Amino acid sequence: MSQATVAPSQASGFAGISPHQWLILVMVQLATMINGMTITLANVVLPQIKGAMAASPEQIAWVVTFNLVATAIATLLTGWLARRLGWRMTMFGAVLGLTIFSFLCGIAQSLESLVLFRVGQGLFGAPIMPMGQAILLATFPRHLHPLVMMMWGIGGVIGPVTGPVLGSIISEATNWRGAFFMVVPPGFVATAIVWVALRDHTERSPQSFDWTGFLALSIAIGSAQLMLDRGHRLDWFDSPEIAFEALLAVVAFWVFLAHSLTAKRPFLDLSVMLDRNFAIGLLLVFVLGMLSFTPMVLFPGLLHDLRGYPDAAIGMLLAGRGFGNWACFMIIVPMTRLYPRLTVMLGLAAQAASGLAMAKLDINLTPSLVFWTNFVQGFGFGLSFTPLSVLTFATLPVRQMTEGMAIYHLVRNFGSSIFISLSILMLVRSTAASYADMAGIVTDFNKTLALPEAMGLWSTASPRGLLAISNEIQRQAAMIGYINAFYLFALTAAVAAPLAWTMRPPPSARPS
């Protein structure tokens, strides 16, 4: 960003921070909070939308995954928009567009229009996190970066907490549309604060844009996501559409890579990948993205469809993730300063433990178990995110900071969308396989099924009895599918944890 030369105060501690810097911090927190609300509130109303739109589990997942794909693609434009339009206009347009598309989501009349408006939310919301993070890093002195990132993280956590809680309460009192409408008033307030807080940051540096690189990477990401989302329904590579999407993704990524390595001014300067911490940080933030929203997508369907929980209860239980984030803020600053690598590892280990605990749940799960598993997952995510951000950018030159932030958040968002698709795939395939296995034992030759105490109200002698048996098998098979998806979650976190030790600690940190 051209404004990255803002001179921080040389005084130590908060006493040296000017009121205008505090206003910028509040502005970034509020914008980040609203963006977080738009991402998570959709998760708790997915069961309502599924029924209203008559959508399948794979189709309803598009409401989340296409939003994340749009966010990932638009994140790539952050650096160029910041230079072309300046901080003020970029943030103002992002928050205003996010607010407008939130209203449009609330009035959507079909699944297709809702997905389209969710794409709009992603496109406009994408610059908010990388822009906000880059603005804070450029505005505040380096020795305050861990503390400022923690405070920025509070805004990032309030959104994911209030989103599902308020969204579930409002949707139960009205309908799912009210959850989207609730974002509109604070969105307009945030838009006004952005205009005031960044009044001195209007500098622009118009420059050409590498559309070849941008379009090639966007096509690669979009094609890969469509392939994963639709592959199961279309029988994978037996479908010409899936084969075409796979080929298009490979060719588009090859074009992007070849163009980026040969162009004079590529869309993304891949030389940032030569920085060891940044390269390893991308791998880890990809995993963090994979772990970020997956439980919030899986649990609403599990609790609503298999246990009959109301939306308000689901929102409160999923808020455990946000409370876990809050709890980690009590220790994250000193841990990041002293033992950043160890903190990242502990955070990933906590998420692996939470995933394993989720996989141990059965269909008779209790609300307390759901809350605490989500609490531990949120605690682990918060414990990993701040030190990972500090480690990733500790050795990156300031001139590459904005571009690095765009790539960083692109990878995180793409990891989220990819892993949600993989988890839904695991759920659907495991459910179908388990149903077939269990249905095979419901025959007249199974002597156990002839015992009254085993069958209860079920019966193989009447259509109603067979339907009751089929419904129960479907519930148990679906629970197995959720369990397998949670095992995948736990394994991913456990495998990634040791990578944190290969990063170089910042000079101010103790060897950890």
pLDDT at 18 over 90: no
pLDDT at 491 over 90: yes
Provide the pLDDT for residue 1: 44
81-103 pLDDT tens trace: 887 888 888 899 999 999 999 99
pLDDT band of residue 294 (cuts 50, 70, 90) is confident
Provide the pLDDT for residue 344: 92
Return the higher-pLDDT residue of 285 and 273: 285
Provide the pLDDT for residue 75: 80
Provide the pLDDT for residue 363: 87
Q: What residues contact residue 93 under an 8 Å CB cut-off, 6+ apart?
A: 85, 124
Contact 508, 337 (CB under 8 A): yes
The C-alpha atoms of residue 111 and residue 62 are separated, in whole angstroms, by 9
pTM > 0.85: yes or no: no
The C-alpha atoms of residue 325 and residue 178 are separated, in whole angstroms, by 26
Two structure tokens written together for 258: 């070849």
Contact 384, 343 (CB under 8 A): yes
333-365 pLDDT tens trace: 788 888 888 999 999 999 999 999 999 998 888
The C-alpha atoms of residue 233 and residue 385 are separated, in whole angstroms, by 35
222-268 pLDDT tens trace: 888 788 777 777 778 888 888 998 999 999 999 998 988 888 877 77
The C-alpha atoms of residue 64 and residue 331 are separated, in whole angstroms, by 32
428-444 pLDDT tens trace: 889 989 988 888 777 76
pLDDT band of residue 5 (cuts 50, 70, 90) is very low
The C-alpha atoms of residue 50 and residue 46 are separated, in whole angstroms, by 6
Mean pLDDT, range 275-281, rounded to an integer: 88
Question: Read out DSSP for 359-385?
Answer: HT--TT--HHHHHHHHHHHHHHHHHHH
The C-alpha atoms of residue 216 and residue 266 are separated, in whole angstroms, by 12
pLDDT at 12 over 70: no
124-165 pLDDT tens trace: 988 888 788 778 877 777 677 767 776 776 666 677 667 777
Mean pLDDT, range 495-509, rounded to an integer: 81
The C-alpha atoms of residue 46 and residue 248 are separated, in whole angstroms, by 30
Provide the pLDDT for residue 4: 41
DSSP code for 9 = P
362-410 pLDDT tens trace: 888 888 999 999 999 989 988 888 888 888 888 887 777 767 777 887 8
Provide the pLDDT for residue 7: 42
For residue 152, CA distances in Å to 135, 149, 413, 445 come to 11, 5, 18, 63
Provide the pLDDT for residue 155: 67
CA dihedral 220, 223, 228, 229 (to 10 degrees): 140
In the block, which residue shows the tokens 């890093």? 137
Contact 136, 28 (CB under 8 A): yes
Q: What residues contact residue 306 under an 8 Å CB cut-off, 6+ apart?
A: 363, 475, 478, 479
Q: What residues contact residue 447 under an 8 Å CB cut-off, 6+ apart?
A: none
Mean pLDDT, range 33-50, rounded to an integer: 80
Which helix (H) or strand (E) segment is 139 a member of? helix 128-139
Mean pLDDT, range 285-310, rounded to an integer: 85
Contact 153, 382 (CB under 8 A): yes
Q: How many other C-beta atoms can be found within 10 angstroms of the C-beta atom of residue 400? A: 17
Question: Read out DSSP for 211-244?
Answer: HHHHHHHHHHHHHHHHHHHHTTTTTGGGSHHHHH
pLDDT at 454 over 60: no
